[in-house]
Chain A
Amino acid sequence: MKNKRDSGNALIESIVGVGIVFVPLVLFAADLAVMFHAAHANEEFAEQLARLCATLPDRANAARACSDVIRQYQLPGNISNLEFSNLDFDLGTQEVSLTTSMVVSMPVPFPGYSRVTVSANAKQPIVSIPVPP
């Protein structure tokens, strides 16, 4: 009897260990990895979008180009939304800045964290304006 109880203890410990510690940790790690990847992708996307805007002559064109790029962008399965905001085409400082946001669906939706929004700001010097005469 004692031997049977010992075996059960180990099994229970294993189940408790795997179920309560390992699995959540691994799932958390998976969510973390997806979030980091999305944040990195969003950061790069913001940079590229800002560079594109920097080559355009004015804010209206820049906004239109950003919208076009986002419309044609093939969103990965886990990205449910992508948008830009705060487009500032400042001819005074000759810098353009914007914010992009991605809504990322977590592979393992924890309560209250099934979707996470990652945002990134990017700033670039405007290169589209000819030097003053």
Chain B
Amino acid sequence: MSKRKFIRKTCGTTLAIVVACAMLIILAIVSGFRLSVYLGSSQEMKNSIDAGALNVAKRVFELKTNAAASNSKQGTGYDDVTDSQHMIGLANINRVWGKAYLVNANAQAMSQGGYGTSGDSPNQASQNARTLNDQLYGVITDKGLLHTYFNKLLASKPAKLLGQRGTVIAADQSNWDSAALYRGEESNIQVNDLQTIPSGVAPNLYTRFNSSWMQGYNPSQANGNYFGFVTFHANEASHLVANGTFDQWKKVPVSNNPAMTLPNAFKESGQITDQLPLGATASAVANPMRTYELTIPHSFVAVSLTSMVTARLDDGNGHVTNYSQTPYFADTGTIQPFKSVDLEKKGYKYPQSLTKWLEVTGYLSGYVSLGNELKPDNLWQAINALPGDHSAAIAAILQRTKEFKPGYTQSQLQQLLQSQKLLNTGSATVTYYIYPKYSTPDNTDAQVAVGTAGQLPAWLNTSAAPEGQSKQIVKETTQKDQPNTAWSNINDGQYEVPRKPKPSWPFYSTDAHRTALSGTLSWQPGTGWRQCLGMLSINRKTDVIFTGWPSQSAGYMDQLFGPVK
């Protein structure tokens, strides 16, 4: 019996071992399968959350604030740096700071150059930029809005290995965060033409690959105010970044930042809704892939031209008739200040010597040829009409023009001004405006134009005056008897000769006269906050003296009336 029992036991044992081992192998296979599903799902979830975070970084630029939202009459003053929807978002907030910076840089340069203060313009520009910045900060850090972009992609990227239980959703939003990465590197505001910024003001620039940019997260200072730009690497798309890199910067404040620090990186976390405890976090850096130049898009430079003629009939011996001062233009030609003045009746004399005055008779008519200095009649000629160093005037206009068209050259400016004919509007002063024309809705493709009232774009406010004080920057060399000339005609003109009876006095048909053409150019800078970046005022005066005298030496007139200065 005992043997039989033993035999039965032996027989069952091998099979039992085989079955047990098979069960173990099956268990191992099932465990391996489950582990693979777990690991695979984990990876799928991470991919999904990465894509969600990237989607947030990419689409955060769709969150915007309204640049026109202000109670003031002027609005926020940043309508010209908005996008095509007239909004300010993370992509173009640096344009707001750029404009504010230029306004303040202009104010600082004006103060340093002795042009006075700029009133409240610079501070208003800074304050409004801060307001817009902080409004935008509120929008782009709204986790509810970011949540939409995050979940949008997650919804179509479940952890497929888990089937219906593999839906990935946003995790607790308290773990979501934002940070300012790449301190001191380039923002999306390019400054390749350093003359865009007035001299004496030094911004924090970042230079790479022969391009210069306003530094992001390293605020530049001008006029005592700081301007905080956001870093966006050039030629770089939105991309994922290591959580460690994100965490390294998220708590580090940006020093001297004048407003809430707008982030350029966002961190989100998500999880699987299944019972599996799977969750992950991803960080991504946003980049609009759009760069702008440092400009004040809606701004202009004004050039005003005033040419006046004053004429008088003055014998140097107390007989003076002043004729009213009148404006003249390039096309004025010849004017006749007076006609057939009876010299004898009005008691005009002529100097036989500096102490001896003798009589003259006849009817004197005077003529002045005007506007010759303005030929060829174009604005460039108007600026450079008389000898003198005009470089300061050209430099002032050119620098300000660069504030809406960086890279603009002096030869381009010359060509532009030469294309502008001088106009005779009837008013003493004709003002010409150098301004940008845009074909893109976001005012980024400036073409420089020049024109006068009636030819200007609707946004241009011709009543905007520059904030600074006017200062003479060019004194031209006064020109005597050229290019504006005078001549006269005397009918029945005779001049006294001592000890000769009147009928024997010699005849003369023209008098001694002189023209003096003088000019000054004054510069009155503006900050651009109210559009006007500055006004160049050209003032010229043609001073004509008719004497009624018979021909005298040139020195005589200078002795009596003083030399032409």
Contact = CB atoms under 8 A, between A and B. Distances in A.
A61 interface: no
Contacts of A125: 51, 54-55, 58-59, 153
Interface in A109-133: 122-133
A131 B157 contact: no
A124 B32 contact: no
Given A25-B22, A127-B237, A131-B61, A9 B14 contact: yes
Nearest to B51: A124
A33 interface: yes
Contact of B29 (A16, A28, A39): A28
Given A13-B14, A17-B15, A32-B33, A133 B442 contact: yes
Nearest to B91: A131
Given A9-B11, A39-B40, A29 B54 contact: no
Interface in B1-45: 7, 10-11, 13-15, 17-19, 21-22, 25-26, 28-29, 32-33, 36, 39-40, 43-44
B238 interface: yes
Contact of A40 (B7, B14, B43, B157): B43
A131 B288 contact: yes
A6 interface: yes
B475 interface: no
B156 interface: yes
A17 B18 CA distance: 5
B54 A33 contact: no
A32 B89 CA distance: 51
A44 to B, nearest CB: 7
Contacts of B7: 2, 6
Given A94-B58, A133-B441, A17 B14 contact: yes
Contacts of B288: 130-131
A2 B3 CA distance: 10
Interface in B266-302: 287-290
Given A32-B33, A133-B84, A133-B440, A123 B28 contact: no
Given A17-B18, A123-B156, A133-B444, A25 B83 contact: no
B239 interface: yes
Contacts of A44: 43
Contact of B153 (A14, A95, A130): A95
A128 B10 contact: no
Q: How large is the interface on A (under 10, 10 to 19, 20 to 34, 35 or more residues)?
A: 35 or more
A100 B19 CA distance: 41
Contacts of B157: 123
B47 interface: yes
A93 to B, nearest CB: 9
Interface in B149-186: 153, 156-157
Nearest to A29: B29
A17 B22 contact: yes
Nearest to B10: A6
Contacts of B39: 40
Nearest to B53: A125
Interface in A18-73: 18, 21-22, 25-26, 28-29, 32-33, 36, 39-40, 43-44, 47, 54-55
A13 B11 CA distance: 8
Contacts of A127: 54, 57-58, 237-239, 287
A131 B143 CA distance: 21
B66 to A, nearest CB: 17
Contact of A33 (B26, B32, B51, B440): B32
B81 to A, nearest CB: 12
A28 B26 CA distance: 10
A28, A126, A127, most chain B CB atoms within 10 A: A127
Contacts of B22: 17, 21-22, 25
A82 B36 CA distance: 22
Contacts of B441: 133
B289 A130 contact: yes
B17 to A, nearest CB: 8
Nearest to A93: B152
Contacts of A40: 36, 39-40, 43
* CB-CB nearest 3 A-B residue pairs: A17-B18, A130-B289, A13-B14
30 contacts: A6-B10, A9-B10, A17-B17, A17-B18, A21-B22, A25-B22, A25-B25, A26-B25, A29-B29, A29-B32, A32-B29, A33-B32, A39-B40, A43-B40, A43-B47, A47-B47, A54-B54, A94-B58, A123-B51, A123-B156, A123-B157, A124-B51, A125-B55, A125-B58, A125-B59, A127-B54, A127-B57, A127-B287, A129-B289, A133-B442
